[in-house]
Amino acid sequence: MRHAWIDASAGVAGDMLLAALHDAGAGLEALRAAVEAVVPGSVEISVRTVSRAGLRALKADVRPVAGDLPHRAWRGIRDMLAVADLRPGVRDRAVAVFGRLAEAEAAVHGVAADEVHFHEVGALDSIADVVGVCAALDDLDVSTVSAGEVALGSGRVRTAHGELPVPAPAVAELSRGWRVRSGGPGELATPTGMAVIRALAGRCEDLPPMSPVAIGVGAGGRDTPGRPNVVRVFVGAVDPVAAAQPAVLLEANVDDLDPRLWPGVIEGLMAAGASDAWLVPILMKKGRPAQTLSVLCEPSAVGALRARIFRDTSTLGVRESPRAKTALPRLFVAVEVGGVAVPIKVGHLDGVIVQVMPEFADVAALAARQGRPERAVLQEALAAAAASGLAVGALLPTGLEPGPRSGGSGGE
């Protein structure tokens, strides 16, 4: 399993990513087969070597051929993806990208996402780009993706529906919460390219510590002197320890809070974005029994959680220290217990299962509903997981369909 990091510092488009991933080693036949499975006989994908401001890059060309697209609304494209003969990972990723694109289009045009209609040629193009990119990631055995700051461009762009400002409205919508900048004149990021990043990249980061095994360079249409119009994709193994994410630990010693308030304080901090919160009994200065409240969170959540600690506890000070946190990759798989689906959290490392556990909130809820001991439901859920091949030390089954995550807050 590998990580792909996308360098979109000069912009991004669906066909640029497609070409970059092929340049990084994804087989052209695998991409074509996946696209063919969704829109048979509708497009031809070819790749050629070009130069962009003196850099060698691959340029992908998607040419529509005979054949009409039966559906152009998002719900129709979703149905086409659902019935196409695609590997589950490719389908899930493609649905996620199109869903994100449809949400953005829906927001800017003021319609429901299901009603978003993609332009005839644009839709075929986007299907080829999106399905091709997802098939390429699958072919390269990429399990996680991240991307850096994205250059969006400036000025205006001519479209079938008239002249639009750059970033185009859908790109602007998709840029919410991501690090972006102009980066130069012209349309540097397209809606499809931005949707791929927003749907598939788990985080915005500069190049993470990794050992690249392949670097692909994908070209945009224009050759701009002095600024290579390319997207780059770094593919490689990420050292799980080196890939630890920045975190912050907030701490306070408290000796005078009514102990009955603590459960609500912890719950409130979790709901406000803490990744964990806990108490440790201590003996404080002057021999006073007290509690250390510890709250672990992402750096972006520090302000809100600090304020909450001051609001909800009696402390007069909060200590903050930078930490690094490594989270095991995990997915949720539903198993059936007594006719009810129970999400099982499966932690894995390098393709091997290292943790299998039902979410306890779901076990407790099912036990309460059925009037049975939690212990019995827990055992049955673990047995059902083992019967599905989810056991510690087993290889993570390929094509695992993730089930819904538990409704419980924060998991166990």
Residues binding ligand L2XS5X25 (CB under 6 A): 13-14, 105, 108, 119, 122, 125-126, 157, 159-161, 164, 168-171, 187, 190-192
The alpha-helical segments, DSSP class H, found in 62-190 are 74-83, 88-109, 120-139, 169-174
Hunting for tokens 């306070």 — which residue is that?
Answer: 252
Residue, CB closest to Ni ion: 105
Burial, 232: exposed, middle or buried (Cβ in 10 Å; 0-12, 13-18, 19+)?
A: buried
Contact partner, 391, from Ni ion, ligand L2XS5X25, none, Cβ < 5-8 Å per class: none
What is the rounded distance in angstroms from the CA atom of residue 234 to the CA atom of residue 2? 10
Residue 17 Cβ, how far from ligand L2XS5X25 at the closest point, in Å?
11
C-beta of residue 341 within 8 angstroms of C-beta of residue 335 = yes
Q: Omega before 167 cis (within 30°)?
A: yes
Question: Is the CB of 169 or the CB of 268 nearer to Ni ion?
Answer: 169
CB atoms within 10 A of CB 260: 7
Contact partner, 46, from ligand L2XS5X25, Ni ion, none, Cβ < 5-8 Å per class: none
Q: Which two tokens stand for residue 176?
A: 């919410």
Residue 172 Cβ, how far from ligand L2XS5X25 at the closest point, in Å?
8
Question: Is the CB of 159 or the CB of 355 nearer to ligand L2XS5X25?
Answer: 159
Residue 125 Cβ, how far from ligand L2XS5X25 at the closest point, in Å?
6
Question: Is the CB of 157 or the CB of 215 nearer to ligand L2XS5X25?
Answer: 157
For residue 221, the SS3 value is coil
Per-residue interface string for the shown chain with Ni ion, residues 87-126, x marking contact by CB under 5 A: ------------------x---------------------
Contact partner, 122, from ligand L2XS5X25, Ni ion, none, Cβ < 5-8 Å per class: ligand L2XS5X25
Contact partner, 312, from Ni ion, ligand L2XS5X25, none, Cβ < 5-8 Å per class: none
Q: Which two tokens stand for residue 317?
A: 């000070």
Question: Is the CB of 18 or the CB of 302 nearer to ligand L2XS5X25?
Answer: 18
Residue 359 Cβ, how far from ligand L2XS5X25 at the closest point, in Å?
38
The Cα-based distances of 152 to 11, 155, 182, 184, 324 in angstroms read 6, 10, 5, 8, 31
Question: Is the CB of 30 or the CB of 171 nearer to Ni ion?
Answer: 171
What is the rounded distance in angstroms from the CA atom of residue 130 to the CA atom of residue 93? 9
Contact partner, 125, from ligand L2XS5X25, Ni ion, none, Cβ < 5-8 Å per class: ligand L2XS5X25
What is the rounded distance in angstroms from the CA atom of residue 195 to the CA atom of residue 288? 55
What is the rounded distance in angstroms from the CA atom of residue 216 to the CA atom of residue 307? 45
Residue 171 Cβ, how far from ligand L2XS5X25 at the closest point, in Å?
6
Residue 123 Cβ, how far from ligand L2XS5X25 at the closest point, in Å?
8
Q: Which helix (H) or strand (E) holds 17?
A: helix 14-23
C-beta of residue 47 within 8 angstroms of C-beta of residue 60 = yes
Residue 69 Cβ, how far from Ni ion at the closest point, in Å?
17
Question: Is the CB of 105 or the CB of 138 nearer to Ni ion?
Answer: 105
Residue 226 Cβ, how far from ligand L2XS5X25 at the closest point, in Å?
22
Starting at the earlier edge strand, list the strands of the sheet with 245-254: 276-283, 289-297, 245-254, 319-325
Binding positions for Ni ion, rule: CB under 5 A: 105
